[in-house]
């Protein structure tokens, strides 16, 4: 499930396409519903073909392939989307192919098993509208304790639920929210309004530490997941998980049994001994 570390790994995996020219774009037929993409493929192709790729960036959980025209191809992988330079996990779910010239890479693909993701080509104005402040908080890799306190300090929501709000802080998903709160020693059900300035700082520091560590290990590939890097290799941060997916197993810090609860219909994992309610 791509969150910030996985999407950042995708971005880095596409480094070798910078400087190449797009010579063809194909939206691939899938046996079921095609994924969402805009604009219509004819317009998409006309605006992309002939363009040189100038950069590959990340905004929150999206990858932006920037073109010399200042348009950007925006990949939004959601649950099961992958950016690939090589053979896919299953060719059935290849959704887009971009053929390249002038570099070391012949093509890159967007692959998406469940098809909840999307591929868009956005003009500068459309990019500004899609990513305007108000829709996305500061990137989780740079958000400070004060940023979090300012945006969430008055909220009555449980802190774990609030960390998933991309308008508050951008890039955290269900898996890393649990990991971050364990590192910060904060109970996931603690209401934001009761969190101290010092605790917000601890959460921000844990966020940066956990996400950077996960990037170092190229993200988490879960047993039933599909996440891979651009060369179709597994990440390895799943071997470092403190709590996520470890219900009933011992906490690596204190040995207590990791608990699983459900918050707003999503699983939350935590250590009842390390993570206090205050």
Partner DNA sequence: CCCCAGTCCTGCGGGC
Partner DNA sequence: TGCCCGCAGGACTGGG
- Where in the sequence numbering do the catalytic residues fall? 2-3, 61, 266
Of 179, 104, 195, residue with least CA distance to 145:
195
Residue of the chain from 10, 14, 53, 60 that contacts DNA (CB under 7 A): 60
Smaller CB distance to DNA: residue 158 or 209? 158
Cα distances from 141 to residues 14, 137, 213, 214, 217, in angstroms, run: 20, 11, 11, 12, 16
Q: State yes or no: residue 1 binds DNA (CB under 7 A).
A: yes
Q: 245-248: long-range contacts (C-beta < 8 A, 24 or more apart)?
A: 245/269
Rounded to a whole number of angstroms, the minimum distance from the CB of residue 102 to DNA is 31
Residue of the chain from 71, 76, 179, 218 that contacts DNA (CB under 7 A): 76
How many residues sit close enough to DNA to count as binding (CB under 7 A)?
37
Smaller CB distance to DNA: residue 155 or 232? 155
Smaller CB distance to DNA: residue 185 or 222? 222
The interface mask with DNA, positions 182-221, x = CB under 7 A, is: ----------------------------------------
Following CA atoms 110, 49, 124, 17 in sequence, which dihedral angle do they give, to the nearest 10 degrees?
A: 50
Question: Distance between CA 140 and CA 256 in Å, rounded?
Answer: 29
Rounded to a whole number of angstroms, the minimum distance from the CB of residue 10 to DNA is 13
Q: Helices marked H in the chain — which ranges?
A: 4-13, 41-48, 124-130, 145-152, 159-163, 174-184, 197-216
Residue of the chain from 12, 27, 78, 273 that contacts DNA (CB under 7 A): 78
Specify the stretch interacting with DNA by CB under 7 A; choose among 20-28, 148-156, 205-213, 249-257.
148-156
Question: Distance between CA 7 and CA 9 in Å, rounded?
Answer: 5
Residue of the chain from 164, 169, 186, 215 that contacts DNA (CB under 7 A): 164
Question: Distance between CA 120 and CA 95 in Å, rounded?
Answer: 12
Of 76, 42, 81, residue with least CA distance to 59:
76
**Measured in whole angstroms, how far is the alpha carbon of residue 119 from the centre of its chain?**
15
Smaller CB distance to DNA: residue 1 or 100? 1
- The counts of H helices and E strands in the chain are 7, 11
Smaller CB distance to DNA: residue 105 or 168? 168
Of 240, 118, 234, residue with least CA distance to 178:
240
Question: Distance between CA 184 and CA 203 in Å, rounded?
Answer: 5
Residue of the chain from 150, 267, 272, 273 that contacts DNA (CB under 7 A): 267
Rounded to a whole number of angstroms, the minimum distance from the CB of residue 60 to DNA is 6
Question: Distance between CA 201 and CA 205 in Å, rounded?
Answer: 6
Residue of the chain from 223, 239, 248, 278 that contacts DNA (CB under 7 A): 223
Residue of the chain from 33, 42, 132, 198 that contacts DNA (CB under 7 A): 33
Binding site for DNA (CB under 7 A): 1-3, 32-33, 60-62, 76, 78-79, 90, 92, 113-116, 135, 154-158, 161-162, 164, 166, 173-175, 223-224, 262, 264-267
């Amino acid at each position: 499930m791509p969150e910030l570390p996985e999407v950042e790994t995708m971005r880095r995996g596409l480094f070798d396409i910078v400087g190449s020219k797009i010579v063809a774009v194909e939206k691939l037929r899938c046996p079921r519903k095609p994924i969402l993409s805009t604009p219509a493929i004819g317009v998409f192709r006309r605006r992309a073909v002939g363009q040189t790729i100038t950069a590959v960036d990340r905004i929150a959980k999206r990858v932006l392939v920037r073109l010399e025209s200042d348009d950007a191809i925006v990949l939004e992988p959601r649950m099961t989307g992958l950016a690939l330079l090589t053979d896919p996990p299953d060719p059935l779910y290849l959704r887009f192919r971009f053929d390249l010239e002038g570099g070391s890479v012949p093509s890159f693909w967007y692959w998406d098993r469940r098809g909840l993701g999307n591929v868009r080509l956005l003009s500068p104005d459309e990019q500004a509208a899609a990513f305007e402040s108000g829709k996305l908080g500061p990137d989780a890799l740079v958000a400070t304790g004060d940023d979090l306190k300012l945006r969430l300090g008055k909220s009555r929501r449980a802190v774990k639920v609030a960390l998933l709000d991309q308008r508050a802080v951008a890039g955290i998903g269900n898996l890393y929210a649990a990991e971050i709160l364990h590192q910060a020693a904060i109970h996931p059900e603690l209401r934001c309004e009761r969190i101290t300035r010092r605790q917000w700082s601890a959460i921000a520091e844990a966020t940066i530490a956990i996400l950077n560590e996960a990037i170092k290990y190229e993200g988490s590939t879960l047993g039933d997941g599909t996440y891979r890097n651009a060369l179709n290799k597994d990440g390895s941060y799943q071997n470092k998980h403190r709590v996520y997916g470890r219900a009933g197993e011992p906490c690596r810090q204190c040995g207590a049994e990791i608990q699983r609860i459900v918050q707003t219909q999503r699983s939350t994992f935590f250590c009842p001994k390390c993570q206090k309610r205050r």
